[in-house]
Homo-oligomer: A and B are copies of this chain.
């Protein structure tokens, strides 16, 4: 059945060219070094078109990663309310996304992140620019300690996603989400907001990477 189409959401080939150029720029130059202007040039389009299709650089990065959610939304949902329940809310919101229609995209994102050195680097830029950099001030954490705290919490949740949705180890794979919230919430709470004796002294005494 023929029907009239409304305003089209842009030429799919052009969109894909922009996303390819964005992935290359974010992986090669990092989030800060990649500019919308350079991405547009590389894709052979006007920078205004990149903004028109994708909005901000953050939104372009999310689209390039085919991320199942904006980490900012998870952060908003987890940090509103009682500070003693931040860990539980992080785990609950995270599992709701993975248990929902975004789960398949999450598995694809994890597969891609782990696939090669290049995709791992792209994913690292994503974690730093979209998660760590936003979560540390939002949680009111000290800058020096905050990144280690957030990366411990995020890596724990990534491990749960790996075991539950990719490897599908039982009983973790079929456990109800609230059982996992009860188990993992306190661990995430501790990483983010509770004392971690010894951890930062040891981390600070380390020699910087070569």
Contact = CB atoms under 8 A, between A and B. Distances in A.
Contacts of A203: 171, 175-176, 179
Contacts of A159: 155-160, 162
A170 interface: yes
Given A162-B159, A164-B155, A182 B206 contact: no
B155 A176 contact: no
A178 interface: yes
Given A155-B163, A171-B151, A182-B202, A114 B124 contact: no
A175 B155 CA distance: 14
B175 A198 contact: no
Which one of A110, A123, A163, A174 has the highest number of Cβ atoms from chain B below 10 Å of its Cβ?
A163
A32 B124 CA distance: 39
A148 B171 contact: yes
A100 to B, nearest CB: 17
A57 interface: no
Interface in A176-210: 176, 178-179, 182-184, 186-187, 190-191, 196-200, 202-203, 205-206, 208-209
Interface of A: 110-111, 113-115, 120, 123-124, 127-128, 132, 147-148, 151-152, 154-160, 162-164, 166-176, 178-179, 182-184, 186-187, 190-191, 196-200, 202-203, 205-206, 208-209
